[in-house]
């Protein structure tokens, strides 16, 4: 693991990317299982006792609060598949768990960014999945969704 000292000067984006990577690794070590993007909500939500389910007209929202204090929202279409996820809190969730099979799309899109591209607010489009994350230490937020799985007629602006 690479640790960047607070005295080290240089590229702000490199420092932000390293900080995000360290935070992801820490979250991965302590986070429980929850729904996975593109997977059925009922089968993937192993900690249903820590989740609240809210039924909306066009989708279901499962809200899970992780041990780190981060709140993860999982949005499932009427057929039960998770079409979007979002999070907010002091630590990012384990993206390998949350994005599931779309994690490779995330890695590929991340690697394809232009050198020097701003990383405090990250927007990625893999073609199959849209990903957005930003914030600052102890106040991170993000979301990912699969356009092909979004219920017809649903505006993503409706999701909180």
pLDDT one-digit tens code per residue, 110-159: 888 877 766 678 899 999 999 999 998 889 999 999 999 999 989 888 88
Taking only the tens place, the pLDDT of each residue in 34-75 is 678 999 986 444 433 466 888 888 899 999 998 889 999 999
**What is the Cα–Cα distance from 80 to 38, expressed in whole angstroms?**
9
Burial category of 83 from C-beta neighbours within 10 Å (exposed 0-12, middle 13-18, buried 19 and up):
buried
Q: Which residues pair with 76 in a beta bridge?
A: 60, 82
**What is the Cα–Cα distance from 24 to 149, expressed in whole angstroms?**
26
């Amino acid at each position: 693991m690479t640790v960047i000292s607070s005295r080290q000067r240089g590229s702000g984006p490199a420092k932000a990317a390293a900080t995000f990577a360290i935070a992801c690794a820490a979250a991965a070590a302590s986070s429980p299982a929850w729904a996975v993007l593109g997977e059925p909500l009922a089968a993937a939500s192993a900690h249903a006792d820590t989740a609240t389910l809210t039924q909306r007209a066009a989708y279901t929202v499962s809200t899970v609060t992780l041990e780190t204090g981060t709140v993860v929202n999982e949005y499932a279409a009427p057929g039960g598949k998770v079409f979007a996820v979002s999070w907010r809190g002091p630590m990012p969730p384990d993206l390998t768990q949350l994005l599931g099979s779309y994690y490779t799309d995330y890695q590929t899109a991340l690697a394809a960014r232009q050198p020097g591209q701003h990383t405090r607010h990250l927007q990625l489009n893999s073609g199959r999945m849209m990903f957005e994350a930003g914030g600052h230490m102890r106040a991170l937020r993000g979301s990912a969704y699969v356009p092909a799985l979004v219920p017809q007629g649903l505006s993503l602006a409706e999701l909180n």
